[in-house]
Amino acid sequence: MDYSNLVDFYKKLGSTQSSLEKTAILSDLFSGRDDRELEILVKLCMGRIFSAWKDEDIGISSKLMVKALKKVSGSGEKAINQEWKSTGDLGETAENILGRKRQQTFAVSKLTVEKVHENLKEIADFEGSGSQSRKIDNISEILSMAKPEEAKYIVRTVLRNMRLGVGEGIVRDAILEAFFPSILEITEASEEKFNGKRVLVGKKVSQKFLEEKRDVEHETFDFELSEMSEIDFDRFDFIVLDKSDAKNLYSYLKEAVQHGYDVTNDFGDVAVTAKNKGIKGLRGLEMKIFRPVNAMLAKKVDTIGEGFETVGKPAGVDYKYDGMRAQIHKKGDEVKIFTRRLDDVTEQFPDVEKAVKEFVDTDECIIDSEIVAYDPDDGSMVPFQRLSKRIKRKYDIEDIVNKIPVEVRPFDILYLRKALIKEKYSERFLKLEKIVEEKEGVIRLVDRIVTDDEEDVNAMQQRSLSEGQEGIMMKNLDAEYKPGSRVGYMVKLKPVMETLDLVIIGAEWSEGRRSGWLGSLTMGCRDEDGNYLEVGKLATGLTDEQLEEITNRLEPLIVEEDGRQVKVSPEVVVEAEFEEIQKSPTYTSGFALRFPRLKRFRDDKEDADSIEKVARLYKSQN
């Protein structure tokens, strides 16, 4: 296909905002192509050179592009930069400067889509000394064959700035439109549309159809979703159904295309499969080891109750670690580690590679996990910012492995000798448990409980936060794994409220193992007159060290004792986190903090926040 032909499609895509129109334009682009062409076109229309799962970058900066333009156009860098400044787009700049030059010379050979793709693909392999100039040569070659407006799109492709508004949803719908019959409701069916076309008509509407459109050649069938895979869609241009069946069939087909993409992460493969093997082929597509799929994403919830509403009861409740998402693929003795953006970071994590080889007992799997860094001296967790130093590191890797050791925390499994993503999460987790041998500091399953009790979830949240982690994730036990989707099969709950600085005004002697320590702290805010009003009790989530410190601080301040209850002089200020503020008749302020947690002592403060602040935060929640 001539590149100029593709440019016509680019221009059409750029001239409309409507997703439906973009879908139709793309469907037109995809129809009637051979496999090789189709694969390339699907990538190029999304502004890609490689498939989404491929961790390859051609590494051409705007600066290098200016050099290539200089070479092709004969214009000086200064002139190019000036033009670039005024257009704000290097693609347009290329079009303008080449436009001026082309008055003298004329491109002789025609540029094809394949040639553009081939040259750009090659660039990714250029490495080491001299690679910059080879990259420039390679781009210059196609730019010198290009017409000015073609050059515009080549430059935009290379710089990954297509500005066409073609996202994954549009490509998916266009594949559907290109390779499956159009689905119409009976009300949309008109005789002229069907002229010379092959039509399949659902039984439910066939009577009506016959009455109105006697001359159209058609077949009728009983619409049943379960039988859809039997239909040879290739034989028809249109399917006519009643409203609800039309809707069902459309989602069924869309789901099949989406499934294809979910497991292959490659719309090129999906398009070719849809074209050659139809619905059965799409359903039969499977995940492959070493080809990463998009990670399932989490929705955010603000309360534990909302979490249960979204994922159902009981739920799996995990620590949410402040680490790096890692999809780990293992086959035989080979392991690869991919980030959430599907970059291959195996080289940066030889320790993880080794851990998985040694402690994951299977020859073929794909595991979803969080890699968490810890302090080599005391084992305490260190935040992501520090771990992130390892992700881009290209040299002295051994050194940084020792300085910033990590532990793998697997939380899901997508593949175990076969794809598992359609299985329930509870079953997947059982399988994960079976193959991971735990070793502290190397690899351990996530901290996790299964519960339907809000108090348990709260306790988990408290523990996670007090250990320096981010909060918790709640997960639907019956859900499949949906790559790339934020469907609400898992939710994250992080404390999002502003914190309050409160004074401790009372406490209680603890019982059992902790007797001898003061706990269950009554916290107060300040009113206008400087009195303290209770806003709740901080009882759970305190570590032994914290209880000891609290006792040491409060014991000298006790002013009154009544059984286990004590009142203390209001001197110790703490910063409290909590899930929400509720109205409460129990406490003198009229408010109660739900699930409060001690964040830290505020020795720098002498006084508590005011009741006004509590009331303001209460209002801001709604």
Closest distance of CB 442 from ligand AMP, Å: 17
- What count of other Cβ atoms lies within 10 Å of the Cβ of residue 434? 12
321 in contact with ligand AMP (CB under 6 A): yes
Taking the least distance from each CB to ligand AMP, the nearer of 176 and 381 is 381
299 in contact with ligand AMP (CB under 6 A): no
Taking the least distance from each CB to ligand AMP, the nearer of 338 and 411 is 411
Structure tokens at 240: 């006519």
- Exposed e or buried b for every residue in 581-605, given b needs 16+ CB within 10 A? beebeebbbbbbbbbbbbbebbeee
Scanning 154-162, 193-201, 214-222, 313-321 for contacts with ligand AMP by CB under 6 A, the matching segment is 313-321
Taking the least distance from each CB to ligand AMP, the nearer of 486 and 616 is 486
Closest CA to 504 of 435, 440, 551: 551
CB-CB contact of 80 with 151 (8 Å) = no
- Pair type for strands 199-202 and 238-241: parallel
CA terminus-to-terminus distance, the chain: 58
* Residue-wise DSSP of 286-348: ---TTS--PPP--EEESSHHHHHHHH-SSEEEEEE-SSEEEEEEEETTEEEEE-TT--B-GGG
Q: Which of 45, 136, 473, 554 binds ligand AMP (CB under 6 A)?
A: 473
By CB under 6 A, how many residues form the interface with ligand AMP?
13
Taking the least distance from each CB to ligand AMP, the nearer of 189 and 298 is 298
Closest CA to 374 of 440, 326, 433: 440
Closest distance of CB 448 from ligand AMP, Å: 7
325 in contact with ligand AMP (CB under 6 A): yes
Closest distance of CB 468 from ligand AMP, Å: 13
CB-CB contact of 335 with 353 (8 Å) = yes
492 in contact with ligand AMP (CB under 6 A): yes
Scanning 316-324, 354-362, 541-549, 553-561 for contacts with ligand AMP by CB under 6 A, the matching segment is 316-324
Closest distance of CB 295 from ligand AMP, Å: 6
374 in contact with ligand AMP (CB under 6 A): no
Scanning 123-131, 314-322, 392-400, 453-461 for contacts with ligand AMP by CB under 6 A, the matching segment is 314-322
- Give the whole-angstrom CA distance, residue 144 versus residue 69: 9
Q: Which of 117, 320, 329, 602 binds ligand AMP (CB under 6 A)?
A: 320
Taking the least distance from each CB to ligand AMP, the nearer of 94 and 381 is 381
283 in contact with ligand AMP (CB under 6 A): no
Element spanning 91, H or E: helix 90-101
479 in contact with ligand AMP (CB under 6 A): no
Sign of torsion, CA 541 547 551 554? Answer: negative
Taking the least distance from each CB to ligand AMP, the nearer of 298 and 611 is 298
Taking the least distance from each CB to ligand AMP, the nearer of 54 and 325 is 325
Scanning 51-59, 236-244, 317-325, 527-535 for contacts with ligand AMP by CB under 6 A, the matching segment is 317-325
Identify the bridge partners of residue 323 per DSSP, sorted by sequence position: none
315 in contact with ligand AMP (CB under 6 A): no
CB-CB contact of 511 with 599 (8 Å) = no
Q: Could you identify the residue written with the tokens 């699907």?
A: 42
370 in contact with ligand AMP (CB under 6 A): yes
Q: Give 574's Cβ-side CA count (13 Å radius).
A: 25
Scanning 47-55, 114-122, 319-327, 429-437 for contacts with ligand AMP by CB under 6 A, the matching segment is 319-327
Rounded to 5°, angle at Cα 386 from 383 and 387: 85
Taking the least distance from each CB to ligand AMP, the nearer of 240 and 420 is 420
- Give the whole-angstrom CA distance, residue 24 versus residue 102: 34
* Residue-wise DSSP of 539-599: -SS--HHHHHHHHHHHGGGEEEEETTEEEE-S--EEEEE-SEEEE-SSSTTSEEEES-EEE
| Three-state secondary structure call for residue 492 | strand
Q: Which of 200, 257, 298, 317 binds ligand AMP (CB under 6 A)?
A: 298
- Give the whole-angstrom CA distance, residue 157 versus residue 159: 5
Q: Which of 25, 443, 446, 554 binds ligand AMP (CB under 6 A)?
A: 446
Q: Binding marks (x or -) toward ligand AMP, 333..362, rule CB under 6 A? A: -------x----------------------
- Of 22, 135, 320, 336, which one is the catalytic site residue? 320
475 counts as catalytic = no
Contact residues toward ligand AMP (CB under 6 A) are 295, 298, 318-321, 325, 340, 370, 411, 446, 473, 492
Looking at the annotation, which residues are catalytic?
A: 320
